[in-house]
Structure 1
Amino acid sequence: MTSQLRRVAVFCGSSPGHDPAHSEAAYRLGRDLAERGIGLVYGGGGHGLMERVSQGALDGGGEVIGVIPTRMMAKEWGRQDLTELHVVDDMHVRKAMMAEFSDAFIALPGGLGTLEEIIEMWSWRSIEFNDDPVGFLNWGGFWTPLLEALEALTETGFVRREVFDDLVVAETLDEALVGLEARRGATFSDKARAPLR
């Protein structure tokens, strides 16, 4: 499929996790992005799923932009063989720069860092700090427990239904790209933005 997205930011684990299928899928995703002409923006890491998705994109001849804090680079957590590597002062600058470079965000399996990053991007979109769409690649139901918890927040009135429904949840890259492109440039109505009572 042809995509209108120039670059996608991918958040994922700096460890491989226990299921080898996640590493294999991350590599394929990176390669598939490259073959579609979509640049990869990621956290610049050289381990775990971060290494696999970036290697897949590089092997596919794609653009790979890494953004990593100085402290992580000093611990040799990053990789130097990317199209561009930006070493920044802290995590806040890292996320802001990744957002600046990207047209959309996708979360692959990961831990606390992945969760924090994708939720912040979703929060930014919900308050129109950034209008780039957000999605979860829910391989094997990995994100289902989190999505059920977010659904519960919606049911209790702390997350607006239209904000929850704005999330893209997909099992394949093609499904994710279709959903992300459909939401590009879309904003919530003023009514949807009204404070909850």
Structure 2
Amino acid sequence: MRVCVFCASGPVPEAAIALAGEVGAAIAARGWSLVSGGGRVSMMGAVARAAREGGARTVGVIPEALVALEVADDQCDELVVVGDMRTRKAEMDARSDAVLALPGGLGTLEELFEAWTSHALGMHAKPVVVLDPDGHYDPLFAWLEDLRGTGFVTARGMSGVVRTTTVATALDALDPARTPRAVSGSG
């Protein structure tokens, strides 16, 4: 099982770093591997370090421009350097079986929405899970729920993502042995 984790790569509270470390350790404990954005800083670095420390294989996918800024996680089992952010997402998608979004900013949101939309359109059947123990995404989901009544967001579209508040429930939701999923239709 290869889990793609999207999360913050900039300065964040220490609790968020700890959460990322807990996720990395839990991925390793299940015998899974990690696909990440290939950075060694912030939550992205913490999840990869903890996964490796637990014995997980780690694959990082990073754009050349970020390598030049010296933030590449050169300890990954495999570091894939690509030309741009779009290629990065495609490579991460191709190398993963499931998607887990932790708290993050614009980049994390963009990555989450692409994976979620592709799932809602039936372009893949990978589980898409948001781990949000502290309500980071509450305003976003409240807004999306409000849009359901307008026709801009459908119930089927909303069902393309699973929200959780604990690491264990997030990984359970990613596990195909626990959560069989069918590809959803458009939404």
TM-score by length of 1: 0.88
Aligned-partner SS, 1:140: coil
Task: After TM superposition, give the deviation of residue 183 of structure 1 in Å.
Answer: 5.3
Is residue 11–residue 108 contact of structure 1 (8 Å, CA) maintained in 2? yes
Equivalent residue letter for 2:150 = T
Unaligned runs of 5+ in 2: none
Matched with 1:3 is: none
**What is the letter of the counterpart of residue 187 of structure 1?**
V
In the TM superposition, what is the alpha-carbon distance from 1:185 to its structure 2 partner? 4.5
Identity level (%): 40
Determine if the alignment matches structure 1 residue 10 to structure 2 residue 5. Answer: yes
> In terms of mean alpha carbon deviation, does 165-174 or 60-69 score higher?
165-174
CA contact (8 A) 1:16 1:22 kept: no
Shift, 1:139, TM fit = 1.5
Task: Please report the TM-score for the alignment, with normalisation by the length of structure 2.
Answer: 0.93
Matches of 1:184 and 1:133 in 2, distance apart? Answer: 9
1:20-169 equivalences in 2 (<5 Å): 20-169=14-163
Matched with 1:173 is: 167
Q: Deviations over 1:142-194 (max 9, x none)?
A: 111111111122222111102202311001122123323355551125xxx38
Q: Does residue 188 of structure 1 match 2:181?
A: no
CA drift of 1:128 comes to 2.1
**Mapped contact 1:131–1:184 kept (Cα < 8 A):** no
Alpha-carbon RMSD: 1.5
SS of the counterpart of 1:81? coil
The question of whether the paired residues in 2 share the 8 Å contact of 1:121 and 1:134 is answered with: yes
- CA shift digits 1:51-70 (9 cap, x unpaired): 11111101111111000011
**Rounded Cα–Cα distance in structure 2 between residues aligned with 1:139 and 1:15:** 19
Q: Which runs of 4+ in 1 moved over 4 A?
A: 182-185
Distance (Å, rounded) in 2 between the aligned partners of 1:39 and 1:16: 25
Q: Structure 1: which 5+ runs fail to align? A: 1-5
* Structure 1 range deviating more: 133-142 or 175-184: 175-184
Distance 2:153 2:184 in 1: 13
CA distance 1:99–1:183, shift in 2 (3 Å)? farther
Give me the whole-angstrom Cα distance separating, in 2, the residues matched to 1:71 and 1:81: 18
Q: What CA deviation, in whole Å up to 9, does each residue of 1:65-93 have, x standing for no partner? A: 00001111111121111111100111111
Aligned length: 185
